[in-house]
Structure 1
């Protein structure tokens, strides 16, 4: 989905384009649960199509989240790393709980929620349960009850037997039993469904009601309400059909292979929780991802000073990835503050210069990816940043110059043209910027800094939320840190 922020509407957006590619990765797992080469090829094909669409639209920021299939596959992290090499895009693997939280945000943007709501989001590998109010989730649970998973586990023929559906129902009840009180539907609770299966069910039920064009497909089902009895009747109807016949049911055309398991799973879960009526939300994970990012950006923008707004405007003008820039700036400040707390000398100018360099370090990519650190330095020098002196602009440019590749050297004329004190400042701050940039190598924006403590002649940094790519990125770029402060080791939570 490609979207732009709506002017004057915090968190609002307008969708410009959308593309769906059903990879069905849950079908591409070997006996050990690893994603097979066929699955990797499906994923690479989809990511390549998405990247090309984004590039053609001039989109600088691309966020890709991977869910159940890669989350549970023992080789999931390796596959994600290979995707970066093959497609130029890194799929950040998120937890089931995070998936549920973001899906809830997407639903809250799409349908009217009440003071108490229970959301069920069915994917190919997992089923998320979320309880929350009209704005945010409060409790999230992810269970391995996805449509593809349940189809493979319980059905042996094209037309599932009643005993197979009953076995699936029993399994859902057993898995959900310890959590029923957390997600029980009470008087006044609104039950909401999201996912392709839920949209397909809504389209099929509307068609069965005889509502004409409203049942032609999943479009236009946002906010549609149906009863548990209607869902049960639809399940019984499609269970007795062969796949080819199921594919002719309005709304189920693209889900004929897994829809029986999906409907049975949702019906069993809703029945256990006591829901008698549900509302379908077309807003789900993608919308939640976008809303979260826009909300973060709005909060970030509102807190900026005049010189920081100038930096942000420059980053926007040169098409920088704003979420990555903001994350690198925040991580840089956090590392600098941690160094200061540990006794390293830091002053206010250090923090201001490093923040600006973090925000602008990749603007040179508008010229070319190759040597973009040098292009960044040139653009910063000539961007007419407001609120900074010529000396400060030069220091910011040189920090961006050294965020990657070569470290400062006596053979670099522009570096040697600085005074001795500023050369030391650039070297010290560039060491911090390199590690911060490495910690968001995935551009996932999820890394949180923990403790930074001295260990002998070096340092240990604890981080949370880092992907394997983030960790390797920080280790690879800790060279200058080691020279300036002492060797850095990372501990991931």
Structure 2
């Protein structure tokens, strides 16, 4: 119906000042307000507004996002590099004739943004890799502009800089991978296209590119701007863009370059259209996402047999239990990714490999999934083995409630599927899954002894959700007033207090279900205990964060005994206990000590967060 575009200097601000200047924020809000008004005039009821990853690099990115919302009512969605590349791929696949033939021959999609480039390689019709390099032409010019007048020839400096950044990315492509074609994408390539395009053709040959490239090196920017009728700003990005393509041509044997006219907006349109009309472009881009995960798993030496068998079981359970879990098709894809990547942490160490899998997934770009989806996949790997959300409360509770539910459901399916091949010997050939009312039956078919799989399966599918909650009158002030009002440190006062607490605890019928389990503690008294412990460790040059600090029961008893032996004035001198807390610390710690002894808890894990953080996270929707 209509295409509108407004130019604002966001990229220049970010790469020069590390933040978006107030004037630019105002201009951006004015431009977006114009878009919003146009949507109102057309009666638009559904929209999607996105900001690329380069915008998120600004120090004031969240302030800018909030200002845009306040002044225009439009809420921006952050895009990751991987999402942005995926959307561009969708647009190219939809817009380019013979795209399937190109990716069969071997094609590199080169998406040149102002701040970064995204390289995506296909060969023999299959996805090979996709990587983002922070080497966009505007970023390069802004980073090097201070040297432009000091170094001669400046073009050699720029060429060396680009080569130093791009050279390491050759490792991601096997020598066996052929690249016959380049497809060039970018919203700021006007000068490039005017310089290199041939009349009536979207293709340029390697030879034509080299001829033009050698020519533009000898022209000043002012003359290039005149020659190609573009602004000096556009011309300033011509040489870095051309150098990037030149280096990639030297790296590959590509013979032709296709100059695509699509941009991010086209990708968004294609994505929404295919999603709502349930129609897909020619290239199966979900298959690209799965292939990217498989290549990542292979990089970390995970076996294909293991992931194929567990994947088969997980997807069968997901499909059969759809009436029970109510998850969507996209969640099925995330489950597949979780299966493929769950064991990559074993490359670091087998012990607690699920934690290493978690941070490797979180730290690696995976094409086609959002930042939130990447966190979901990472958490599936975190919880697929023995660690559960219940035992990992400090981490799990910080996740948005609706996302926690998705993770919990998918992790339950993955844990069950993983247990069915716990021996890694593919003993089970198939499974049958049936759902009757609230009972799920999973029946394996096998010719082998399944004792290990049976035991592991039962252990992993135990209910890991919150089972019980009780509130008891054990406040630090209340107990201090009742038993330690006069700073009584006698054994009798301690005995009366702990006996009272234990009697109340034993009234809680389910309490002993927590026997021999770690205790997670929050609140001022437990934090003070942890600070005293941490200060002792610091004397041994052992530095630890307070949040998540773990103490053995012997550590806890030892420090509490030390605190108990001191009077109020002496307690004020202890590093880690504030003057305000020193009067009530014994009353505050007594319930903790009593519970640990009653349950024989092996360790105490302290949270630095409390009620304030809980309220804040709830208000933020986290």
Name the TM-score class by shorter chain. Answer: 0.5 to 0.7
* Structure 2 counterpart of 1:152: 142
SS of 2:131's partner is strand
The answer for the alignment partner of 2:192 in structure 1 is 201
User: Is residue 258 of structure 2 the alignment partner of residue 279 of structure 1?
Assistant: yes
Equivalent residue of 1:120, what SS?
strand
Residues 446 and 465, structure 1, Cα contact 8 Å, conserved in 2: no
Unaligned runs of 5+ in 1: 1-15, 215-220, 302-347, 353-443, 467-486
Aligned to 2:165: 175
1:463–1:289 distance in 2 versus 1, CA, 3 Å: farther
For the 8 Å contact 1:130–1:183, the answer to whether it is kept is no
Query: Matches of 1:33 and 1:465 in 2, distance apart?
Result: 34
* Corresponding position: 1:117 with 2:54: no
Question: Cα distance 1:94–1:228, how it changes in 2: closer, same or farther (>3 A)?
Answer: same
Query: Structure 2: how far apart are the matches of 1:296 and 1:85?
Result: 30
CA gap of 1:158–1:78, structure 2 versus 1, over 3 A, is: same
Distance across 1 between alignment mates of 2:242 and 2:45? 39
What corresponds to 1:37 in structure 2? 22
Contact 2:206 2:255 in 1 (8 A): yes
Residue in 2 that maps onto 1:381: none
1:288 aligned residue: 267
Matches within 5 A, 1:78-97: 78-97=63-82
State which drifts further: 40-49 or 149-158: 149-158
> Closer, same or farther in 2 for the Cα pair 1:23/1:133, shift >3 Å?
farther
Tell me what 2:156 maps to: 166
Assess if the C-alpha contact under 8 Å between 2:51 and 2:79 holds in 1: yes
- Identify the match of residue 237 of structure 1 among 202, 215, 229: 215
196 and 284 in structure 1: CA distance in 2 versus 1, 3 angstrom threshold? closer
Aligned partner of residue 292 in structure 1, secondary structure: helix
Is the contact made by 1:192 and 1:280 (CA closer than 8 Å) also made in structure 2?
A: yes
Name the residue aligned to 2:303: none
Normalising by structure 2, we get a TM-score of 0.43
The structure showing larger relative contact order (alpha-carbon pairs under 8 Å, at least 6 residues apart) is 1
Q: Give the deviation of 1:139 after TM superposition.
A: 2.6
**SS of 1:22's equivalent?**
coil
| Pair member with larger Rg | 2
1:251, 1:119 → 2: CA distance? 27
Gaps of 5+ in 2: 281-322, 328-368, 381-387, 404-613
Contact 1:24 1:124 in 2 (8 A): no
Determine the structure 2 residue equivalent to 1:127: 117
Q: Give the alignment's TM-score, normalised by structure 1.
A: 0.53
| In structure 2, C-alpha distance between the alignment counterparts of 1:148 and 1:135, rounded to whole Å | 33
When the two structures are aligned, how many residues end up with a matched partner? 311
Contact 1:103 1:285 in 2 (8 A): yes
Q: CA deviation at 1:145?
A: 0.8
- Superposed displacement of residue 157, structure 1: 8.8
Matches within 5 A, 1:389-404: none
1:25 aligns with 2:10: yes
Larger mean Cα displacement after TM superposition, 161-170 or 124-133: 161-170
State the shift of 1:292 in Å. 1.5
Distance 2:326 2:158 in 1: 57
SS of the equivalent of 2:4 reads: coil
CA distance in 2, matches of 1:58, 1:47: 16
1:265 to 244, 252, 261: 244
Conserved? CA contact 1:108–1:135, under 8 Å: no
Q: What RMSD over aligned residues (CA atoms) do the two structures have, in Å? A: 4.4
Is the contact between residue 115 and residue 139 of structure 2 (CA under 8 Å) also seen in structure 1?
Answer: yes
**1:330-369 residue CA offsets vs partner (Å, 9 max, x unmatched):** xxxxxxxxxxxxxxxxxx89989xxxxxxxxxxxxxxxxx
Cα deviation per residue 1:216-265 (whole Å; 9 max; x = unaligned)? xxxxx6xx111334334333433443444222233645712322222223
Would you say the 8 A contact 1:84–1:90 is kept in 2? yes
Q: Measured at CA, do residues 26 and 292 of structure 1 come closer, stay the same or move farther in structure 2, by a change above 3 Å?
A: same
Secondary structure of 1:256 counterpart? helix
- SS, match of residue 173 in structure 1: helix
1:462 aligns with 2:441: no
Segment drifting more, 117-126 vs 134-143: 134-143
- 2:139 is the alignment partner of 1:139: no
Write the deviation string for residues 256-310 of structure 1: whole angstroms up to 9, x where unpaired: 2322222223322332344342111112321111211222222399xxxxxxxxx
